[in-house]
Structure 1
Amino acid sequence: MSIITKLASTLPARVRSEVYEVEKEKRTREGGGADVLSRIFGRRSAAGKPVNLQTAMQLSAVWACVRQTATVISSLPLSVYDKRDNGSRDTVADRFAEVLTVSPNADQTGMEFWEGMVAWLMTNGNCYAERTDGRLGLSQLRTLPSISTEPFRNADGDLMYRVRDRGKTEVLPRDKVFHVRGFGFGSDVGLSPITFGVQTMGTALAAEESAGKIFGNGMQVSGILKAGQTLTAEQRVQARKMLEAYRGSEAAWKVMVLEAGLDFQTLTMNPEDAQMLETRRFSVEDICRWFGVPPIVVGHAGQGQTMWGSGVEQIMIAWMNTGLNPILRRIEGRVRKDLIAPGQRIKRYAEFNREGILQMDSKAKAEFLTKLVSNGIMSRNEAREKLNLARRDGADDLTAQTAMAPVQDLGKEDTP
């Protein structure tokens, strides 16, 4: 990104638009880059508000959708496994697993890395990380800002990545970039909800700004100042200065003194209209649709919907199945395809533990584990691990209740 482009974000909208056009033409001559600029400057909505990552994240609904999804996924336990021939699996604890789960690079923990990757995936539709391979294989993953990373095909049809960082442009081959694509139509990139939801988010930004201005004016909208005669230019200036003293919320309930036949007539608006409650409520629900997050997850209850009870539990289960699980599968599939050697993909894989999402209360969890152990589905040691308790000797065997007997054996005595 050039210095001109960085400074343009502080300029007025008209000047910023002119700078954008100049930079767009320049980047097009250099080979690509116009789409990167559109993501930086944003697209203007019909409501007149430019929508990009920075402006969209100022909406509480967008912030909550991205934050909730990113933090929930990054907090799930992630492990690397080797599949056995009998269908069971062994947990892998090598350098590859350490990079994925504990220390992806010198600066980030595993949770911080995946939180950033999912946040970019939610907003941009793509997340990227530069991979570094050492003597023993994968040694580092460094997050690349999606807003300044651009996939493209070279003359031979090979997928390459143009990365603009710290004023420099670097082209990386596909084997040096870990790229997770979001929802799309099978192309080299996923689709950005901010780009396609520009009208929804632009309308929400305009509504928030309008509400803020109304509150800034002490909940009073503009009125009409009547005069019994034509005012001179000097009198008009004096009238404007007088009205300025009564603008803003700090001027609420001040008494205005009028003279020379002036009469001020206010245009009333009740508080509910001023807050535009229905418009802003619908904006939250509409934004949640773009990000695939139930409104209740971001603290927004629909009409007649409670924030507690079994209904919310079912909503959370639905969110895991239709919202979170597809993202987890995308990450797991891309890890298996791009980060694991071809000869090992058939047996080695990485997997998030989904059980971390659906945590039950202590009573329900105890009943759940008891049923699994008593029916021979889980050993006592495996149940102890679910409770973060140490393993015990002699508790690895599967056990089952023996009170039940086949119908044909009823009434028979046991043979010694």
Structure 2
Amino acid sequence: MQNKTLAAVLSHGMRPLELKSTGSISLTDGAFWSRWLGMSNFSGKSVTVNSALQIGTVMACVRLISEVLSTLPFGLFYKDAKGAQIPATDHQLYYLLHTQPNATMTAAVFWQVLLLSLLLHGNSYVEKRMSAGVITSLEFLRPEFVTRRRLKSGAILWRYNDPLTGETRTIPENRMWHVPAFTIDGETGLSPVAYGANVFGAAMAADEASAETFTNGMKASGLVTMDVVLKPDQRADIRKHVKQVSDSGGVMVLEKGSEFQQMRMNPQDAELLSTRIFNIEEMCRWFRVDPALIGHGGKDSNWGTGLEEKMIWLVTLTLRPWAVRLEQGIRKDLLTPAERQRYSAEVALEGLLRGDSAARAAFYSVMTQNGIMTRDDCRQKENLPALGGNAAVLTVQSNMLPIDKLGEGGGAGTTAKNALLAWLDNGEKDQK
């Protein structure tokens, strides 16, 4: 690389360690220059992952999705003889997915960075460390340092430019867990930052224009008008007086014929404000997040049933697609062909009810009254000890029975029959 090119790279904030890890760089290396100089866009701003994260809307959207999903329980289950899903706590992968995937990350941190890679880079990469054919740890790889090449045999050769050591190493295909985000070829995910560079660049340009407009008093607060022509020194005295009153407070004193008019927002500033609001909504579309969920108020209802519907939207249209993508990726790349027939991974989306006691109570009530869950099942989810006995028995509400079944088998049916006969008997007496 020529010295001028090296100086240009360093002027864009590239650290020597990262320069070492990239190896040989040519002027035709489009991926490298796009990464460091920013994705091309109409605004001319440099749009990278780091610069996109400096936009409040982008940061809020990716934090909402990644932090909410990463705090939900990731579990591994197996089917028993009756087809019931039982937590596979004795499987090594259960501990990695649910508690601690590697020596440096907890499960919440691991899933958060993995989801962040999907949301910003469009791909996530995890190296499977194995011993005697068993996965012992899951090591997160920074996606910007991963490259792939398909060989003539059809196999994929993975290379990782490790930013910690500065060395490039090859990772066998069976040791790589790759999850693509939205993809058009089924292999490589599309980066929202790259494809949405026009939207993010426009937002950055609008923020810069807004800052330039309102920084250091560049926008005049009002006008002082007079019915005479002033000399330059007189204008300077008036400006000095107005600035002094504006900075320290007090009463403004002007000479004969002077008037002060407060300036209102001009059309250009109003258009700038409207542009910034539109950019927020446009960026939310890229991440499929309702603006109200990141603190952007609108005309629609953000309270009561309106907010409840937005939360349903978040779970069904935003979180669930990512959860299913991860669940199927685990089954495909972390389980052996034999284990796939019995084991499956699942993200417990009902964990979102943890902060809503009323919703949890209603959920448990419906599940127990319809014979879907036992009382002990509910107690287990609330981290309470099982009671056994009748608490482990499935029960159903039997108040509603077919009319031709009343009186059969005693119990509630007999009670319902007696109540119906008494009501009919009272009706006949009233008619007499």
> Which position in structure 1 is the counterpart of 2:317?
322
Q: Is the 8 A contact 2:96 2:137 kept in 1?
A: yes
Q: Is the 8 A contact 1:99 1:140 kept in 2?
A: yes
> Which position in structure 1 is the counterpart of 2:421?
none
SS at match of 1:43: coil
> Which position in structure 1 is the counterpart of 2:18?
none
Q: Is the 8 A contact 1:65 1:291 kept in 2?
A: yes
Residue deviations 1:143-168 (CA, integer Å, cap 9, x gap):
11111212221343321222122332
> Which position in structure 1 is the counterpart of 2:196?
197
> 2 CA distance for matches of 1:385 and 1:354?
17
The alpha-carbon distance between structure 1 residues 294 and 358, as it changes in their structure 2 partners (threshold 3 A), is farther
Q: Is the 8 A contact 1:65 1:293 kept in 2?
A: yes
Q: Is the 8 A contact 2:158 2:170 kept in 1?
A: yes
In the alignment, structure 1 segments of 5+ residues that lack a partner are 17-22, 222-241, 255-267
SS at match of 2:54: coil
1:393: how far off? 2.0
> Which position in structure 1 is the counterpart of 2:326?
331
Q: Is the 8 A contact 1:80 1:92 kept in 2?
A: yes
2:145 paired residue among 145, 148, 157: 148
Q: Is the 8 A contact 2:368 2:396 kept in 1?
A: yes
SS at match of 1:140: strand
Residue deviations 1:151-187 (CA, integer Å, cap 9, x gap):
2213433212221223322222221211110001134
What letter matches 1:402 in structure 2?
Answer: S
> 2 CA distance for matches of 1:365 and 1:12?
51
Q: How many residue pairs get matched?
A: 370
Q: Which moved more, 1:65-74 or 1:387-396?
A: 387-396
The alpha-carbon distance between structure 1 residues 179 and 37, as it changes in their structure 2 partners (threshold 3 A), is farther
Q: Which moved more, 1:144-153 or 1:199-208?
A: 144-153
1:4: how far off? 9.9
1:179 and 2:178 are equivalent in the alignment = yes
> 1 CA distance for matches of 2:266 and 2:190?
39
What letter matches 1:172 in structure 2?
Answer: I
Q: Is the 8 A contact 1:47 1:206 kept in 2?
A: yes
1:36: how far off? 4.3
Q: Which has the larger radius of gyration?
A: 2
Q: Is the 8 A contact 2:77 2:345 kept in 1?
A: yes
1:272: how far off? 8.4
1:70 paired residue among 66, 80, 84: 66
1:47 and 2:46 are equivalent in the alignment = no
Question: Mapping of 1:165-314 within 5 angstroms?
Answer: 165-166=162-163, 167-220=166-219, 270=265, 274=269, 276-302=272-298, 304-314=299-309
1:400 paired residue among 396, 400, 404: 396
The alpha-carbon distance between structure 1 residues 24 and 374, as it changes in their structure 2 partners (threshold 3 A), is closer
Identical pairs, percent: 32
> 2 CA distance for matches of 1:61 and 1:355?
27
SS at match of 1:317: helix
1:373 and 2:373 are equivalent in the alignment = no
> Which position in structure 2 is the counterpart of 1:341?
336
Q: Is the 8 A contact 1:317 1:358 kept in 2?
A: no
What letter matches 1:295 in structure 2?
Answer: P
What letter matches 1:98 in structure 2?
Answer: Y
1:136: how far off? 5.8
SS at match of 1:44: coil
2:346 paired residue among 346, 351, 373: 351
TM-score (norm 1): 0.79
1:125: how far off? 0.5
> Which position in structure 1 is the counterpart of 2:251?
none
> 1 CA distance for matches of 2:83 and 2:4?
58
TM-score (norm 2): 0.76
What letter matches 1:216 in structure 2?
Answer: T
> 2 CA distance for matches of 1:382 and 1:345?
26
1:119: how far off? 0.5
1:132 paired residue among 125, 129, 133: 129
In the alignment, structure 2 segments of 5+ residues that lack a partner are 15-20, 221-235, 249-262, 415-432
What letter matches 1:164 in structure 2?
Answer: N
SS at match of 2:300: coil
What letter matches 2:215 in structure 1?
Answer: G
> 2 CA distance for matches of 1:72 and 1:361?
15
SS at match of 2:340: coil
Q: Which moved more, 1:171-180 or 1:324-333?
A: 171-180
1:325: how far off? 0.8
SS at match of 2:11: coil
1:164 and 2:148 are equivalent in the alignment = no
> 2 CA distance for matches of 1:250 and 1:148?
56
The alpha-carbon distance between structure 1 residues 316 and 120, as it changes in their structure 2 partners (threshold 3 A), is same
Residue deviations 1:178-227 (CA, integer Å, cap 9, x gap):
11100011342100111000010000001111111222131427xxxxxx
> 2 CA distance for matches of 1:125 and 1:72?
19
Residue deviations 1:378-405 (CA, integer Å, cap 9, x gap):
1110122233322112111111233343
> 1 CA distance for matches of 2:66 and 2:334?
21
> Which position in structure 2 is the counterpart of 1:11?
11
The alpha-carbon distance between structure 1 residues 274 and 174, as it changes in their structure 2 partners (threshold 3 A), is same
What CA RMSD, in Å, does the superposition of the two structures yield over aligned residues?
A: 3.6
> 2 CA distance for matches of 1:69 and 1:218?
38
The alpha-carbon distance between structure 1 residues 168 and 85, as it changes in their structure 2 partners (threshold 3 A), is same
What letter matches 2:136 in structure 1?
Answer: S
> Which position in structure 2 is the counterpart of 1:261?
none
Q: Is the 8 A contact 1:285 1:295 kept in 2?
A: yes
Q: Is the 8 A contact 1:24 1:37 kept in 2?
A: no
1:58 and 2:54 are equivalent in the alignment = yes
1:112 and 2:73 are equivalent in the alignment = no
> 1 CA distance for matches of 2:45 and 2:7?
19
> Which position in structure 1 is the counterpart of 2:417?
none
SS at match of 1:69: helix
